[in-house]
Amino acid sequence: MNRLSLYLVLLSVPMASLAQQAPSPSGENQILVWRVGSPYVGDTPDTTVPLDLKLRAREIGSRIQIESFPAKGFAREFFDAIEMHQEPDIIAFDNMGIIDGSSTSLGGSTGIGSSATVRKALIKVTGSLKDLTGGSGGWQYLVSTSKNHEAARKLALQPPECDPSLPSSQVPADVQQLSKNISKLYLEQSPSLGAFEDSQRLIAEGVRRDTLSVSETRACGSWGNKRLIFVSLNSTYESEKTIGQIPVLLILRNQNNNWKLLAASTDPISTSTFLQQIPRFSQSLQGPSRQKGELLPASRISPLSGLAPTPVSGQRFGEFSWQPSSSEDVVAEIVEFAYQNDARLFLRPRLKSVAVDQISSGQLWRSKSEWQWRVWSISSAGDVVFSQVGSFGN
């Protein structure tokens, strides 16, 4: 067929037909995800690609394909895929029995982590791929030996986004840059953080995570007044065995016209439940400066320092108890549990006068380390006074 004849044939083909015949992205651009059901339910998950992830993949020149499997028999499927070098780029599931193995009413399941080769290849992802398990929990891992690992890694390391389910607000420019710097130093465990710390910051020994390398940070919101401010941020990071995004909550106190770090946390309670309460609480920080008198601290009651709370008969957990501040202008108290250079925070708004307040030890998680705890009493002007510090093993 000569060139003119070919041209006439092409003109006769509808454009829609040509579009249908256009080649799809090559396999090199496809990120393969394996979703795994729960060993306790026996389900096979949905294979719909979350829209936001689809769009993010498109931005980096890739696309996502999801295949799903029940938990039972998954280890065999995965081991076979590893052996043939057909393993997925990402695995996502909502129960750690997929890695560690499980025994349920539906029967036993071998965990893929029973293989040292597999464990070595898994890289945990936090935050950035959570939509693969519904956005409300679960785990996502990259498989470092997969064919398109670099594309999956790039997807996991996309610029940080603010969680739409959490409070957000405009962050003042001066606080924004300062908080970004402090957050990066905190996550990277830099000795330089000391220059930004409040003298009253409570630090428990140890660390929760490997040393991180932070590539980008986004400030998502700030609330407070000229004396005390709460800042929510999100960072993209990577370490040897974990990558993704990590939320950070900073509490800064103004000392001699300089903002200093009073508390920093990546704890999931502090960066979610506690943070949800902060915008409303900050509205109460509108009072005048104290003209006279001392802001009185709360008083710890039990347990004695060095001891964990003892459950009373018939109860599973003990209680941390304290006597709230008697100062009339105290609008709330924060109970701080510091552990491994992190902090779990609880807000207690002053809704009514109580003689004794308490928090169950069941609201803490085990870290096999030494914890410290204290109570902050906060005035309507944003002044803060602290109870004595107690310690306990947990």
Residue pLDDT, tens place only, 24-61: 444 568 999 999 999 998 899 999 999 999 999 999 99
Classify residue 323: in a domain, yes or no.
yes
Domain membership of residue 12 (yes or no) is: no
- 299 and 360 housed in the same domain: yes
Cis? peptide before 172, omega within 30° of 0 = no
Question: Is residue 11 domain-resident?
Answer: no
In this structure, the answer to whether residues 148 and 191 fall within a common structural domain is no
Segments forming the whole domain that contains residue 52: 21-156
- pTM for this predicted structure: 0.88
Half-sphere exposure of residue 254, counting CA atoms within 13 Å on the CB side? 12
Q: Is residue 311 part of a domain?
A: yes
> What confidence score (pLDDT) does residue 53 get?
95
Q: Are residues 253 and 193 in the same domain?
A: yes
Q: How confident is the model at residue 135 (pLDDT cuts 50, 70, 90)?
A: low
Q: Are 111 and 254 part of one and the same domain?
A: no
pLDDT, residue 313, reads: 87
Domain contains 377? yes
Q: Are the C-beta atoms of 111 and 99 separated by less than 8 Å?
A: yes
**Does residue 58 sit in the same domain as residue 119?**
yes
Amino acid (one-letter) located at 177? Q
Query: For 181-226, how does the pLDDT look when each residue is reduced to its tens digit (9 = 90+)?
Result: 999 999 999 999 999 999 999 999 988 888 899 999 999 999 999 9
- Bridge-based pairing of strands 107-109 and 228-238 is unpaired
Q: How many domains does the chain have?
A: 2
- Residue pair 129/157 in contact by the 8 Å Cβ criterion: no
Domain boundary among 125, 156, 187: 156
Pairing of strands 319-323, 299-302: antiparallel
> Mean pLDDT for the chain?
91
Q: Is residue 138 part of a domain?
A: yes
Of 156, 191, 219, the position where a domain reaches its end is 156
Residues 186 and 152 in one domain: no
Instruction: Residue 111: give its domain's CATH number.
Output: 3.40.190
What pLDDT, on a 0 to 100 scale, did the predictor assign at position 293?
A: 75
Shared domain for 344 and 210, answered yes or no, is yes
Would you say residue 309 has pLDDT above 80? yes
For residues 134 and 186, membership in a common domain is answered with: no
* CATH code of residue 189: 2.60.40.10
Let me know: does 391 contact 303? Beta carbons within 8 Å: no
The answer to whether residues 35 and 115 belong to one domain is yes
Residue 106's pLDDT is 84
Q: pLDDT, tens digit, for every residue of 75-121?
A: 999 999 999 999 999 999 999 999 999 888 888 889 999 999 999 99
| Final residue of a structural domain among 96, 121, 156 | 156
The verdict on residue 369 lying in a domain is: yes
Q: Do residue 151 and residue 209 come from a single domain?
A: no
